[in-house]
């Protein structure tokens, strides 16, 4: 698997960086570190592309982590994590995967998995 930043992502990151520098300057920051925006060369956390919810019109997966459109497709990753706090999301993603496993097990025991 490979990942490459889209030029629009880099452009947005540069724009956001410039706005942050303006805010820091306006706030009277005494020290500012301005690191250049560049393409990622190692890990990235792609999050928030598959919102969780009860309504198919506004979400991709239901609270059991099952997609609305494909009955036995379960998403057990960071895609349902539509916002992320500061720091690494790994533990939250692991918790979501464990939660999904519990839900899948419960659905299987009820006989709610199948074609």
Digit-coded pLDDT (tens) for 26-76:
999 999 999 898 887 776 777 888 999 999 999 999 998 999 999 889 998
Do residues 94 and 84 make contact, with C-beta atoms less than 8 angstroms apart?
no
| Cα–Cα distances in angstroms (integers) from residue 96 to residues 9, 60, 70, 83, 92, in the given order | 27, 15, 19, 14, 6
One of 6, 45, 65, 68 is an active-site residue; which one?
Answer: 45
The sign of the dihedral angle between the CA atoms of 56, 60, 63, 66 is positive
pLDDT band at 104 (very low <50, low <70, confident <90, very high): very high
Q: What is the mean pLDDT of residues 94-110?
A: 92
Q: Residue 68 and residue 8: Cα distance in Å, rounded?
A: 30
The reported pTM is: 0.60
| Cα–Cα distances in angstroms (integers) from residue 112 to residues 12, 29, 106, in the given order | 44, 57, 9
Is 6 annotated as catalytic?
Answer: no
């Amino acid at each position: 698997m490979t990942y490459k930043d889209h030029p629009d992502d880099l452009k947005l990151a540069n724009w956001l960086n410039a706005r942050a520098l303006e805010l820091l300057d306006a706030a009277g920051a005494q020290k500012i570190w301005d690191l250049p925006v560049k393409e990622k060369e190692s890990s990235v956390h792609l999050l928030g592309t598959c919102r969780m919810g009860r309504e198919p019109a506004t979400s991709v997966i239901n609270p059991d982590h099952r997609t609305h459109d494909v009955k036995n497709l379960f998403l057990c990753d960071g895609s349902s994590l539509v916002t992320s706090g500061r720091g690494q999301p790994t533990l939250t993603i692991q918790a979501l995967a464990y939660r999904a496993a519990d839900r899948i097990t419960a659905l299987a025991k009820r006989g709610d998995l199948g074609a």
